[in-house]
Amino acid sequence: MEEIEFAPIGFVISDFKEIQDDPGIFRGTTAKIRVLDEYAGGLFRLENYQRLYIIYFFDRAEGYRLVLHPRGDVSRPKRGVFATRAPYRPNPIGLAVVELLSVEGNTITVRDLDAIDGTPVLDIKPWKDNYY
């Protein structure tokens, strides 16, 4: 199979600077996504949505593990990586459903994004059935 290449459309701005073992730590927190200038036009009318899918690249996850303890907690039974939200995946791609708080220029502010500062964002899509 041919290699697939993606380029970021923007980057996460967050208070979280390191990979977190517990994705629940992001619940209720806010983050920003600064979209690169050449893609800013793609934000037109994004404010009409309450929730978004954010697709991003786990750029600091090294390697992958097919079986692991969820959240690195050895007291929890092991699971396959596809049954977790772990960043250590064969294709280190993350997906989050977030609440859209604002759109200002080429920056969007969201709640519940489980990505750390500097994470490359690959795409932004409106969450289904929430146009108003």
The confidence score (pLDDT) of residue 102 equals 97
The confidence score (pLDDT) of residue 70 equals 82
Superfamily of domain 10-126: YaeB-like (2.40.30.70)
DSSP conformation letters of 71-104? GG-TTSPPEEGGGS--S--SS-EEEEEEEEEEEE
The confidence score (pLDDT) of residue 16 equals 76
Is there a contact between 59 and 94 (Cβ–Cβ < 8 Å)?
no
Distance CA 46, CA 49 (A): 6
The confidence score (pLDDT) of residue 61 equals 85
The confidence score (pLDDT) of residue 86 equals 84
Distance CA 86, CA 23 (A): 8
- The domains of the chain are located at 10-126
Task: Tell me the mean pLDDT per 10 residues along the chain, length 132.
Answer: 92 81 70 98 95 95 88 88 88 94 97 93 88 56
The confidence score (pLDDT) of residue 109 equals 98
